[in-house]
Amino acid sequence: MNESPITFDIVLDLCGDEHRRIILAVLAEEQRSLTVNDLRSTILTYNHHMPVTEASGEVLTEIQSSLHETHIPKLESAGVLEYDSERQIVEPTEQFDQLQPHLSVILGTDPNLDEPIKL
C-alpha cells in the first residue's frame, strides 16, 4: 500500500473522472467495504440514471471493465482503497481519511452529484 501523504494534486487527479468521483463519494458516504457490484450499481444510478435491471449487457460490461482495468487500480495505487479480487470487495484505507476534507469540497461542486451518493 502507498503510505505517502495524499496531496491536493493527487486528489484532483483521482477526481478527474466521473466514475471515480461516484466511487469516492459512495465510499465516503458508506464508510465501509463495498462490492464491485455495489460500485457498478451506484455508477448506473448516478451516471446513467437507471437500475441494473434496465441496463444493457454492453453498458454493464463497459462499467465492469472500467472498474477492473482503470478506476479500482488507480484508487488502489494511490493507497485510498484496498481491493480483494477473490471476493470482489473494495475497502477504504486509512489514506482515504486524508482524502476526505478535499473530497467533500470537490464533490460538492460537481453538479451531477448534488445529493449524497448512496447505495
Helix/strand/coil for 80: coil
Residue type (1 letter), 104 = S
- Up-side HSE of residue 15: CA atoms within 13 Å toward CB? 23
* Residue 54: per-residue pLDDT: 93
Tens-binned pLDDT, residue by residue, of the chain (119 aa): 456 778 888 889 999 999 999 999 999 999 999 999 999 999 999 888 888 899 999 999 999 999 999 999 999 999 999 999 999 999 999 999 888 888 888 877 876 766 667 76
CB 57 within 8 A of CB 111: no
Distances (CA, A) of 30 to 3, 9, 57, 59, 61: 23, 24, 27, 25, 25
Query: Could you give the domains of the chain?
Result: 8-108 (1.10.10)
Q: Residue 99: is it exposed, middle or buried by C-beta count within 10 angstroms (0-12/13-18/19+)?
A: buried
| Dist CA 38 CA 88 (whole Å) | 10
